[in-house]
Structure 1
Amino acid sequence: MRRYNLEKVKRKYLLILLSVILAISLLIYKSINALDNNLTKKEKIEDFQYMYDVIKKSYPYLELNKRVNNVDWLENKDIYLEKIKNTKNDNEFINELNNILGDLNNGHTHLIDNYSLFKLFNNSYGELGWYDFFDEDIVKKRYEGLEEIKGNNKSFSKEDLILKDIVEGEVGYIYLPEMTPRGNSIEEDIDLISKYIKTLENHKSIVIDIRGNGGGNDSYWMEVISRIIPKSYNASGYILFRDSEIINEYINSRDINVEDIQYLPKEIINNGPNEINSDFKYFVKNNRLIETMDSINFKGKIYLLVDRVVYSSAESFSIFCKESGIATVIGETTAGDGGGYDPILFKLKNSGLIVRMAGDMYLTGSGICNEEFKTIPDYIIDNPIRTKEFSDDNCINKVLELNQSN
């Protein structure tokens, strides 16, 4: 029988034990360091309190959120504060802030919570001089430590443009998945779309489909429609602001020429939300004019297809079509929050996190709040989903029906 060397066995297990102890010590050391790098409870509370105060003084849709969603965001402060106190690390803090902002039920109001979004907004605003925090060490360090979301640094969707006739030589079709370029620039997209538009001069109608379009840049849809219309079109509305330090900085940095809310026309006040006089300080009358540019001077009918996803600058297009009469709107009620200026960004000092927030309320020319009532189509369609084939698309079938009766 083989005899074991007891001393060797002891040494072997002693080495294993020491290795385990060393590994555990290293994990504890890393955990302590990680905790040291996390925000303290006091710092998290301060950041939340600042965010709360900014929204309390500046956010335009607090009363609307009560009416539409039955959420009294300001009254929930103690609930939110307790949730912030209970976060164990920075990741939990970031998630909780996003949940709290989510209770405002506004797509333009959220935390910039990943490196891709940070790069997107830094590239968009960094050189304009409107914000001075993008190059701050605390901000750069924060976002360099956050995950980069692949495919999120340019576009909202991965769908491509569709440019082809529904009915050959009679009904044209332009599908815009978002109001941002699929290529390197808007000009590239517009060149491609323009070539197709030039084939539609003698068509009976043109369909512009923005179902599923969450927005982007107003100049995108303006470039498209200006190449179709036979004359200039305009639509007026009103952009309302509250009175706060952040709002005033925003107005001044963009040289927005505002008027006191007391001069807002009475019919607009009567048709608008009740909080106009109590919560808002300034307004701008927005006159949007779309002129022809390299246009085919189209004399036929234009149809705009929309759904519940249409938002932001895509919503601005819907508003313009409905208000100006430039196109017949078909589909379902949209998502809203179009017509105004770009959302406001502000920084939380301890964490370096950036919050994006809707900064204004848009009223149509008759005083209707777009975020509350959205754009209601001229023809409401059951099951307005865009399909792969034109033949089983309910919105397109409505176009073809209208086309026959005209």
Structure 2
Amino acid sequence: MKPDAKKKVEFFFICALVVLVISFFAFSIYLSKKEENGEFSFNSFKSGFISFEDCIADYEAFWDFIYTEYPFTEVCERKGADLKKIKDEGHKKIEYSAPIDSQNSYISFYAKLCEDITSRYFTGHLYPVSMRDYEYGMASSDSYFKLYDVDLMNSFYSAKPYYTVNSLIGSGARMVKADIKIIEEGKIAYVRIDSFRKRGYAKEYVQYKKDMKKFFLDTEKYKHIIIDVSHNGGGSVECYDSDILSYNNIGRNIRQKIYFLCSKNKYTELNPSFKNNQIDIKEVPNIKNANTKKNTIALYEEDAASFQELSPGYAPPKDRRYWLLISGKTASAADRLAGLCKASGFATLVGSNTGGLGHNGFYSPIHMMLPKSGLLIKFDLLYGLNSEGYCTDEFGTAPDIYNLPDKDALETCLEEIQKLESRD
């Protein structure tokens, strides 16, 4: 090829390339303008298990639920959550990443969203239903299933989605376990339980039942029993009712009356307590401390420990003292235990205020379903109050004895026992 001809080819090639680049940028600007006007979305070129439009529909449904049916929005805001900012930032994340490619990514997005809304306290048990919860708890129908598209729900969880919880409550312990220690032979015994998770009759729960029964038999004549749930984030109430309280409920009348507030919505209307246990809000003790405008309907429930004979002739000392160690990591079923012990006088509470979540009703938590994906969000539908009338999920259950300066709950408890013994 002659030099002049070669130069002409190069010139035309460069011109064509320049035209293509200019056209590309011009078209991109054009599409961006279209996207701003809602006439086009770059996300339409992506593929995923759920479309961009359905992601947005789910997101709007979630926030409508937060503002109208989730009873703890005021608590979350008082704990520092800027809900408008969280919502706007979440919307931007969807615009950037949708359509989301997998159920794993989707459930993780909502887990982080619930973390942000509750400042990682998961107030009112607000977090996505995990695969484990789905398999264990959703196997049988309940009255709330009429609110779900069950086929869509099953389709979502058929992918076995997974996420991790970044929580400020509990210890992260997976299953119930009793760690036993004799502090003073013949007098002071201690058991630490960091979880009440039992998963049916899993082998860990079977072992725990054996260990707790043996613990109470071996310490029958001990005067002081210390039960440490200061790192217990909850689980099943059976772990304390059947295996702690029932063995020691001889003439003690371990019971409490719990008060709640709520609004009228499609979830509360299916709740048995909403149907049967409504009372005048003026009947709620210390109602002035409840601090909610959203929840104006008052209810109550009665909670009581069961009874079973540990063994024929089992007779602990009549002056036996029970001590329950608590902290801000004590939550859910462990918080419910704390409230029951405090209300009945069964045990003296030592430590710091619990993390709450244990006084939001027998039938909590329940679930709401995102309408386009089938993802379930767990939540408590009642705004539970502690004995002082404050929201339990905000203030927790207060101890009878707060930690001494520079001492933990066990050290404080042992000092209190020493004081009592010195008086006798």
**TM-score category of the 2 structures, normalised to the smaller one:** 0.7 to 0.9
Partner of 2:365: 343
SS of equivalent to 1:237:
strand
Matching residue within 94, 105, 108 for 1:95: 108
| Alignment partner of 1:203 is 2:229 | no
Contact 1:205 1:403 in 2 (8 A): no
Among all aligned residue pairs of Structure 1 and Structure 2, give the percentage whose two residues are the same amino acid.
Answer: 20
Q: Please state how far the C-alpha of 1:159 moved relative to its aligned partner.
A: 6.6
Partner of 1:24: none
Q: Please state how far the C-alpha of 1:188 moved relative to its aligned partner.
A: 6.0
Q: Please state how far the C-alpha of 1:292 moved relative to its aligned partner.
A: 4.1
Q: Please state how far the C-alpha of 1:147 moved relative to its aligned partner.
A: 4.3
Partner of 2:27: none
Partner of 2:346: 326
Partner of 1:234: 255
Contact 2:176 2:196 in 1 (8 A): no
Give the Cα separation in 2 of the matches to 1:355 and 1:332: 30
Unaligned runs of 5+ in 1: 1-31, 387-392
SS of equivalent to 1:165:
strand
Contact 2:259 2:384 in 1 (8 A): yes
| Alignment partner of 1:272 is 2:306 | no
Partner of 1:10: none
In structure 2, do the counterparts of structure 1 residues 187 and 159 end up closer, same or farther at CA, with 3 Å as the change threshold? closer
Partner of 1:122: 138
Give the Cα separation in 2 of the matches to 1:396 and 1:90: 53
Give the Cα separation in 2 of the matches to 1:116 and 1:346: 17
In structure 2, do the counterparts of structure 1 residues 149 and 337 end up closer, same or farther at CA, with 3 Å as the change threshold? closer
In structure 2, do the counterparts of structure 1 residues 132 and 187 end up closer, same or farther at CA, with 3 Å as the change threshold? farther
Q: Partner amino acid for 1:144?
A: S
Matches within 5 A, 1:127-138: 127-128=141-142, 130-131=144-145, 136-138=150-152
Give the Cα separation in 1 of the matches to 2:137 and 2:195: 17
What TM-score, normalized by structure 1, do the two folds share? 0.76
Matching residue within 45, 50, 59 for 2:70: 59
Matches within 5 A, 1:277-356: 278-290=293-305, 292-294=307-309, 296=314, 298=316, 299=318, 300-341=320-361, 342-356=364-378
Q: Partner amino acid for 2:192?
A: Y
Partner of 2:95: 85
In structure 2, do the counterparts of structure 1 residues 127 and 190 end up closer, same or farther at CA, with 3 Å as the change threshold? farther
Matching residue within 368, 375, 384 for 1:362: 384
Q: Partner amino acid for 2:128?
A: L
Q: Please state how far the C-alpha of 1:119 moved relative to its aligned partner.
A: 1.6
SS of equivalent to 1:222:
helix
Contact 1:242 1:279 in 2 (8 A): yes
Partner of 1:42: 53
Give the Cα separation in 1 of the matches to 2:198 and 2:109: 33
SS of equivalent to 2:50:
coil
Contact 1:54 1:246 in 2 (8 A): no
Q: Tell me the alpha carbon deviations over residues 359-406 of structure 1, each in whole angstroms, 9 at most, x when there is no partner.
A: 1111134422211211222232256669xxxxxx63564355345335
In structure 2, do the counterparts of structure 1 residues 237 and 96 end up closer, same or farther at CA, with 3 Å as the change threshold? same
Q: Please state how far the C-alpha of 1:133 moved relative to its aligned partner.
A: 7.9
Q: Please state how far the C-alpha of 1:238 moved relative to its aligned partner.
A: 0.1
SS of equivalent to 1:86:
helix
In structure 2, do the counterparts of structure 1 residues 255 and 304 end up closer, same or farther at CA, with 3 Å as the change threshold? same
284-293 vs 367-376, greater mean Cα deviation: 284-293
Give the Cα separation in 2 of the matches to 1:383 and 1:377: 17
Give the Cα separation in 2 of the matches to 1:55 and 1:103: 13
SS of equivalent to 1:364:
coil
In structure 2, do the counterparts of structure 1 residues 212 and 288 end up closer, same or farther at CA, with 3 Å as the change threshold? same
Two-structure CA RMSD over aligned residues (Å): 3.2
| Alignment partner of 1:140 is 2:154 | yes
Partner of 2:277: 258
Partner of 1:179: 196
Give the Cα separation in 1 of the matches to 2:126 and 2:175: 23
Q: Partner amino acid for 2:372?
A: N
SS of equivalent to 1:280:
coil
| Alignment partner of 1:71 is 2:88 | no
What TM-score, normalized by structure 2, do the two folds share? 0.73
Contact 2:174 2:197 in 1 (8 A): no
